[in-house]
Amino acid sequence: MQQPTTQHSLARSLGRKSSFALWLLLLLNLLVILPGCVKQDPPAAGAPSLKLVLDNIASPLGLLEVPDGSKRLFVIDQPGRIWIIGADGNRMTTPFIDVSSKMIALNANGDERGLLGLAFHPNYQTNGRFFVYYNAPPRAGGPTPTTTWNNTDRVSEFKVSASNPNVADLGSEKIILDVDDPQSNHNGGTIAFGKDGYLYISIGDGGGANDVGNGHVSDWYAANAGGNGQDIYANLLGNMLRIDVNSGSPYGIPADNPYVGKPGLDEIYAIGLRNTYRFSFDMGGTNQIFGGDAGQNLYEEVNIISKGGNYGWNIKEGSYCFNAASPLLGFPTCVTVDSAGNPLLDPIIQFPTITNPIGGVGTTVIGGNVYRGKSIPQYNGKYIFGSYSQRRNIPDAKLYIANKLNKNQWTYEDIFLQGFGDNLGQYLKGFGQDLDGEVYLTTTGLAGPVGTTGKVYKLVFIP
In a 3-state reduction of DSSP, which class is residue 37? strand
3-class secondary structure, 96: coil
Contacts of 38 (CB under 8 A, 6+ apart): 411, 412, 413, 414
What DSSP designation does 436 have? T
Residue 38 has a pLDDT of 52
Side-chain-side CA neighbours of 127 within 13 Å: the count stands at 12
Nearest-CA neighbor of 156 among 235, 289, 251?
Answer: 251
Distance, in Å, from the CA atom of 376 to the CA atom of 313, rounded to the nearest integer, reads 36
In angstroms, the CA 400 to CA 387 distance is 8
Q: Which residues pair with 391 in a beta bridge?
A: 394
Write down the pTM of the prediction.
0.92
Q: How far apart are CA 410 and CA 402, in angstroms?
A: 6
Mind listing the pLDDT tens digit of every residue in the chain (463 residues)?
333 333 333 233 333 334 444 444 544 444 444 445 555 555 445 789 999 999 999 999 999 999 999 999 999 999 999 999 999 999 999 999 999 999 999 999 999 999 999 999 999 999 999 999 999 999 999 999 999 999 999 999 999 999 999 999 999 999 999 999 999 999 999 999 999 999 999 999 999 999 999 999 999 999 998 799 999 999 999 999 999 999 999 999 999 999 999 999 999 999 999 999 999 999 999 999 999 999 999 999 999 999 999 999 999 999 999 999 999 999 999 999 999 999 999 999 999 999 999 999 999 999 999 999 999 999 999 999 999 999 999 999 999 999 999 988 999 999 999 999 999 999 999 999 999 999 999 999 999 999 999 999 999 999 8
Give the integer Cα–Cα distance in Å for 374 and 36.
27
E strand or H helix at 63, and its extent?
strand 60-65
Alpha-carbon dihedral angle through residues 166, 372, 270, 114, given to the nearest 10 degrees: -30
Q: What is the pLDDT of residue 419?
A: 93
Distance CA 456, CA 432 (A): 9
Dist CA 151 CA 420 (whole Å) = 38
